[in-house]
Structure 1
Amino acid sequence: MSDNKSSSQVVSRDLEHPTGAPVATGGTRPAGGGRLLWADCAKGLSIVAVCYMHVITGAPGGQDSPWQWFNMVMDPIRMPMFFLISGLFAHRVISRTLGDLWYRRLWFLLVPYLVFTPVQAAIRIDMIEDVTWRNLTRAILLGDPGIWFLYALMVFNILACLLRRIPPLAAVALSVVPALCVAAAGLAQYPEITHITAYMPAFFLGLHLRHLYFRLSAAATDWRVILGAVGAYISWEWLVDVLYDRVFEGGISTDEAAVMSLVVLMRTLTAVPLGILIATWISYTPGLSTIFAGIGRHTLPIYVSHQAALHLVNAIIITALIDGNPERWDFLNGMNIRIAIGFLTCVASGYLFYGIGKIPVLKWVLYPPALPRHRPRRRSG
């Protein structure tokens, strides 16, 4: 990728077609510009599930309603698949130096992180009524608030670059070690740590074993593959539910939280294959594939904006309307109306920031210009 390409391409084209990946059939065909349609649909499905989760949890009674069903189904899929797909097409990382990685990838992740993280961090800290400069700085430095995906992605890219000379299977094995250490040290209750340790294996699996996931997508209509993926998903999620409902009834201790962190770690292997099959089936469906692939190609504007937009609408605008005239606006307390408003808010914020990403100069908050690189001069003669 040349240095003069737009930064929007650098950020969004984690899904560039890798050499040797199958592109001949169905959902594995290119989606334009060397992209794979099923992979774009997978990212689209993941970000839709993330928005869905934030909408449902922000609506009164949403988590106790039938709306929660889809949220529960996607819970073990959305973020592991997001990171796995990011690793799937980060294969150039292992051929770069750290300096090259900074110019070609980290810079383009760092800028939107630093722009949007203070906003999201302030919102989260305000919710617990503990807004201080120390807490805000801590959240930014440790990737604690809602924009933590970009933070974790930067960490994973750096580690992948540092481990690039390690055999692939060894690198995948090493990616699990931090989660084991966190569990052993009793630190599983700190999200700023577990956000990294829980999803690092997903990124490294996608990075080093991507050929297996291309094969999985290519076999998406094989009933044996479907049966295996569905069986793995159901059996492991049943075990997770049993542990939560029976073993850990009455609250989870530090040791039990450590055990659960390792149990959840397995979801990359047990749940993500089903997510990839679903994304591939979506890519086979006209109309639906256009919607999800389009969303998947523009996840950044949606990701960085929707949580703040939901907070603005739910906690400020709707609250002010109801407090100002309860008789007129009390219907806004209804669960279904709040969920509908939440979905519309996510669409509007994503579309707004998609537009911002096309405005000269202003778009730099999402897609900063490439940094100038000083190249050694050639000696004459």
Structure 2
Amino acid sequence: MSETPGTAATAVTGPDRPAPAVGGDPQNGVRERLLWADCAKGLSIIAVCYMHVISGVPGAKDSGWQWFSTVMDPVRMPMFFLISGLFAHRVISRTLGDLWYRRLWFLLVPYLVFTPVQAAIRISMTGDVTWASMLRAIALGDPGIWFLYALMVFNIAACLLRRVPPLVAVGMSVVPALAAAAAGLTQYNEITHLTAYLPAFFLGLHFREVYFRLSEAASDWRVVSAAVVAYVGWERVMADLTHRVDPDGWTSREAALMSVASLVRIFSAVPAGILLATWIARIPVVSTALAAVGRNTLPVYVSHHAALFLVNAVILRRLFESDPERWAFLTGMDTQIVIGLVTCAVAGMLFYRLGRVPVLKWVLYPPALPRRRRTGQGGGLSAG
């Protein structure tokens, strides 16, 4: 989800698309970043934080604050995984052993560091604080830092299917979602987190040039019109489906239907998200700020949930309980939302700084594992 110079942490997002060199020789691998892709990641992580803030404030979902979250709902996670797939294309040229050293290791360390914290928070909220529930959360990625968990699974799947034709591989990526729906397993988040977004990752991985061309055509009114119609049209279908199902709770069959319908959003909504990110990338100041967030999504991702819990459930609650009259303004919906958004921003900046502190930064960006490779001289081995 983010990169840090001088380490192999680029495994989180993958190498950038070959492009004109910036201040160096293109043959040496110095490549221009895709600004729109960074903006897309920044837009996605902001939408994720926003959704978590809104979800934790009573009444916010029924207010005008919900508008942005509703608009971004079909885009934020599918686009995140599709962008991850765009820059993971070297996975299909690697063995599982090489994948471990170059990618999985850098996902596994922050996952193991931060998942117990996140899991403890969520599990404590349900009252199910046991060693079994904690181990289950870590082993299955829910609750926890499930994005990193999913990326590890997706990279392994991509490596295993690297010799399968692209179209067939994408088709196979949809099968788990259909199987989960048919088996009535869509109520399990640890399953749907994987099945819902695997196709987005595979589309970005195998059809990256299609999305690059889409971004390049962002000024074509025909492309824009088609993207808007696709987005609005399918969201209307989703709204109609939602109103038809039981308002008091979905049955397993209804949940299966909605999960399959949600898969279509990868095709209907993500193109509009990419076009939006491309337009934002053309706005000088805004693009610089959003791209900076997009290049450093990992610190924001691993910190904001715990920070929101600390501020809302501990600090603000104790302040209010200590003097309800003095701190009554903290109970206002608008105030809570603003505090939540500021909390996410501050937590992200603090962990961004943590990612640049020697040794401590390893919780986010671990050092590369030592590898032994052949020297080519007499078959000897050397550390590398």
TM class by shorter chain equals: over 0.9
Contact 2:303 2:348 in 1 (8 A): yes
Contact 1:6 1:369 in 2 (8 A): no
Map 1:27-106 → 2, pairs under 5 A: 33-106=31-104
Residue of structure 1 equivalent to 2:27: none
Specify the alignment match of 2:246 in structure 1.
248
- Following TM superposition, by how much is the alpha carbon of 1:221 offset from its aligned partner in structure 2, in angstroms? 1.2
Please identify, of 243-252 and 172-181, the stretch whose mean Cα deviation from structure 2 is larger: 243-252
User: Hey, what does 2:6 align to over in structure 1?
Assistant: 6
Give ranges in structure 1 of 5+ residues lacking alignment: 25-31
Cα shift at 1:13: 4.9
Q: Deviations over 1:155-212 (max 9, x none)?
A: 0000000000000001000000000110111101100000000000000000000111
> Matches of 1:219 and 1:177 in 2, distance apart?
31
What letter matches 1:348 in structure 2?
V
Give SS of 2:127's match: coil
Q: Per-residue deviation at 1:314? A: 0.4
The two structures, once aligned, show a CA RMSD in angstroms of 1.8
SS in 1 for 2:284: coil
Q: What is the aligned counterpart of 2:227 among 225, 229, 235?
A: 229
Aligned equivalent of 1:261: 259
Q: For the residues of structure 1 that align with 2:144 and 2:354, how far apart are their CA atoms?
A: 20
5+ unaligned residues in a row in structure 2: which ranges? 23-29
SS at 2:327 equivalent: helix
Please say if residues 282 and 289 of structure 1, whose CA atoms lie closer than 8 Å, have aligned partners that are also in contact. Answer: yes
Query: Cα offset for 1:61?
Result: 1.3
Taking only the aligned residue pairs, the percentage that are identical comes to 66
Match of 1:368 among 363, 366, 380: 366
TM-score, normalised by the number of residues in structure 1: 0.93
Over 3 Å counting, the alpha-carbon distance change for 1:9 and 1:247 in structure 2 is: closer
Distance 2:235 2:124 in 1: 34
Matched ranges for 1:1-381 at <5 A: 6-7=6-7, 9-11=9-11, 13-14=13-14, 16-19=15-18, 33-376=31-374, 378-379=377-378
Report the AA paired with residue 166 of structure 1: V
Deviation of residue 65 (structure 1)? 0.7
Q: State the SS of the aligned residue for 2:312.
A: helix
Contact 1:183-1:258 at 8 Å conserved across structures: yes
The whole-number CA distance in structure 2 between the counterparts of 1:6 and 1:372 is 15
Determine the C-alpha separation between the residues in 2 that align with 1:294 and 1:321: 34
2:323 maps to a residue whose letter is N
State the alpha-carbon separation in 1 of the partners of residues 111 and 89 from structure 2. 22
AA aligned opposite 1:225: V
* 1-structure distance, mates of 2:21, 2:221: 21
- Size of the alignment, in residue pairs? 368
Question: CA 1:232–1:213 in structure 2 vs 1: closer, same or farther (change >3 Å)?
Answer: same
Amino acid at match of 1:149: F
CA distance in 2, matches of 1:48, 1:55: 11
Question: SS state of the match for residue 35, structure 1?
Answer: coil
Do the aligned partners of 1:12 and 1:297 also contact (CA within 8 Å) in 2?
no
Aligned partners of 2:139, 2:13: CA distance in 1, in Å?
26
Q: Which amino acid aligns with 1:215?
A: R
* SS of corresponding position for 2:373: coil
User: How far 1:8 moved relative to its partner?
Assistant: 5.9
Q: Which amino acid aligns with 1:106?
A: L
Report the TM-score when normalising by structure 2. Answer: 0.93
CA distance in 1, matches of 2:9, 2:72: 28
For 2:95 and 2:193, how far apart are their aligned partners in 1? 25
Q: Is the 8 A contact 1:309 1:349 kept in 2?
A: yes
Aligned position for 1:28:
none
SS in 2 for 1:375: strand
Supply the distance in 1 between the matched residues of 2:167 and 2:246 (Cα, whole angstroms). 34
Equivalent position of 1:29 in the other structure: none
What's the CA shift for 1:247? 3.7
Task: Provide closer, same or farther for how the CA distance between residues 254 and 156 of structure 1 changes in structure 2, counting only shifts above 3 A.
Answer: same
- Separation in structure 1 between the aligned mates of residue 172 and residue 34 of structure 2, nearest angstrom: 29
- Range with bigger deviation, 209-218 or 55-64: 55-64
Separation in 1, partners of 2:43, 2:183: 34
Q: Say whether the 8 Å CA contact 2:204–2:211 is kept in structure 1.
A: yes
Give, in angstroms, the shift of residue 62 of structure 1: 1.0
Q: Distance in 1 between matches of 2:139 and 2:9?
A: 26
2:137–2:144: 8 Å Cα contact kept in structure 1? no
Structure 1 moving runs of 4+ over 6 Å? 21-24
Q: Contact (CA 8 Å) 1:41, 1:279: kept in 2 or not?
A: yes
Deviations 1:93-117 (A, max 9, x none): 0000000000000000000000000
